[in-house]
Chains A and B, each alone.
Chain A
Amino acid sequence: MTTLIQTLSNRVRNMASRSPWIYRINAGSCNGCDVECATTALIPRYDVERLGCQYCGSPRHADIVLITGPLTARVKDAVMRVYAEVPEPKVTVAVGVCPISGGIFRDGYAVHAPIDQHLPVDVNVPGCPPRPQAIIEGIAQAIAIWRERL
Chain B
Amino acid sequence: MLESLYIPFAALLFPGGLFALALGLTLKGFDRRLAARLQARVGPPLAQPIYDLVKLARKRTMVPDIANEPVFLGAPLVGAVSMALAAALVPIPGFYTPDPVLGDLLVLLYLLTVPAIVLMIAGSASGSPFGAIGFSREMAMMLAYEGPLVLVVAAVAMRTGMGMGGWISFSLTDIIAYQQTHGAFLLDPVMWPALLAFLAFYPANLGIIPFDIPEAETEVLEGPLLEYSGPALGLFKIMSALKAVVVLGLGVALFYPIAPEGAAGLLVQVAKMVLLMLIGVTVVRVSYGRMRIDQAFRFFLKWPLALSVISLAFVALV
Contact = CB atoms under 8 A, between A and B. Distances in A.
Interface of A: 12, 15-20, 44, 47, 49-50, 52, 56-58, 60-61, 63, 85, 87-89, 150
Given A19-B51, A61-B225, 10 more contacts: A16-B51, A16-B55, A44-B39, A52-B51, A57-B221, A57-B226, A58-B226, A61-B222, A61-B229, A63-B59
Contacts of A20: 55
Given A57-B221, A58-B222, A85-B62, A19 B233 contact: no
A52 B226 CA distance: 20
23 contacts: A16-B55, A17-B55, A18-B45, A18-B48, A19-B48, A19-B52, A19-B54, A20-B55, A44-B41, A47-B43, A49-B32, A49-B41, A50-B45, A52-B44, A52-B52, A56-B217, A58-B221, A60-B62, A61-B229, A63-B59, A87-B60, A87-B62, A89-B58
A89 B233 CA distance: 16
Nearest to B52: A19
Nearest to B128: A58
Given A47-B36, A57-B218, A61-B229, A89 B51 contact: no
Contacts, number: 84
Contacts of B51: 15-16, 18-19, 52
Main secondary structure on B side of the interface with A? loop
B44 A58 contact: no
B36 A49 contact: yes
Name the residue among B44, B217, B218 with the largest chain A CB count within 10 angstroms. B44
A18 B46 CA distance: 12
A57 B217 CA distance: 6
A50 B55 contact: no
Interface residues of B, number: 32
Contact of A88 (B39, B43, B48, B60): B60
Contacts of B266: none
A76 to B, nearest CB: 22
B40 interface: yes
A89 B51 CA distance: 16
Given A16-B54, A19-B48, A87-B230, A50 B225 contact: no
Interface in B150-188: none
